[in-house]
Amino acid sequence: MLGRFFNHQKETQAVDVKTDVPVHVAVIMDGNGRWALKRGLPRNIGHREGMKTIHSITESANDIGVQVLTLFAFSSENWLRPKTEIDFILRLPERFLSSELPKLQANNVQVRVMGAVEDLPSHTKKAVETVMHETADNDGIILNLALNYGGRSDIVQALKLLGSDIEQGRCQIEDITEDMISDKLYTSDFPDPDLLIRTSGEIRLSNFMLWQMAYSEFWFTDVLWPDFSTEDFAEAISVFQQRKRRYGGV
């Protein structure tokens, strides 16, 4: 019934790295907990395994020619999870970034973070700030981690900034444009995502980059994030390359 939303092997062709490579790929990394539960393991093990997938997919995206890879690492709604799970998840960026820093440097990866970082634990903030500083001069693929991020709150904070500009006389209400709102979002430095990938079979945005996804192509797969392979990623890119983006036109 949902087949038309999902990947099919018959659609897949080899990735053409010279044609229509998406500039910005966003990924909702879903299914870590279910991966662990299927194996009778604690959910934390699933999150740990999911970290390994981040490494392989970042390398694959870099090889294919993707310029920005945004990963939904921790949503503003994830605070509703059990405290022990939250504590574990928020230690993962620290562990991943510290262990991966030499490889990130070697591959010229620049790490960025978007979201309400100021509300994260101090150890998480310190880890991401350190890696962002260390990789700031790298000019290869941008690995953009969405931490404590929500699409609605992103729009709200953008409107607050725009409201401040109006109060201070820098612009007028009647002058507001879509571009002005986009320029206040966390993603103001990046183009909107060309492609959204979501693993685990769920078909929803989960409050992820709501403004920015207006014309993104969506690709869903039943594969759980820890099992998501470079072949799966290549398939998503291949299917994207076969689609015709009309942006409301014919």
* pLDDT tens, residue by residue, 86-129: 888 888 888 888 888 999 999 999 999 999 999 999 999 999 99
Q: What is the reported pTM?
A: 0.90
Is 34 a known ligand-binding residue? yes
pLDDT at 244 (0 to 100): 82
Is 246 a known ligand-binding residue? no
Q: 20, 62, 78, 227: which one is catalytic?
A: 78
Is 225 a known ligand-binding residue? no
pLDDT at 93 (0 to 100): 81
Is 217 a known ligand-binding residue? yes
Per-residue pLDDT of the chain (250 residues; tens, 9 = 90+): 344 344 444 444 567 666 799 999 999 999 999 999 999 999 999 999 999 999 999 999 999 999 999 999 988 988 888 888 888 888 888 888 888 899 999 999 999 999 999 999 999 999 999 999 999 999 999 999 999 999 999 999 999 999 999 999 999 999 999 999 999 999 999 999 999 999 999 999 999 999 999 999 999 999 999 999 999 999 999 999 999 877 776 5
Q: Which residues contact 75 (CB under 8 A, 6 or more apart)?
A: 146, 148, 149, 150, 206, 207, 208
Q: Is domain 24-149+192-241 classified as CATH 3.40.1180.10?
A: yes
Residue 144 known to be catalytic: no
Is 148 a known ligand-binding residue? no
Domain with CATH 3.40.1180.10 in the chain: 24-149+192-241
**Phi–psi pair at 144, nearest 5 degrees:** -105, 115
pLDDT at 236 (0 to 100): 98
Residue 138 known to be catalytic: no
Q: How does pLDDT run across 45-73, given as a tens digit for each residue?
A: 999 999 999 999 999 999 999 999 999 99
pLDDT at 13 (0 to 100): 54
Q: 30, 154, 194, 232: which one is catalytic?
A: 30
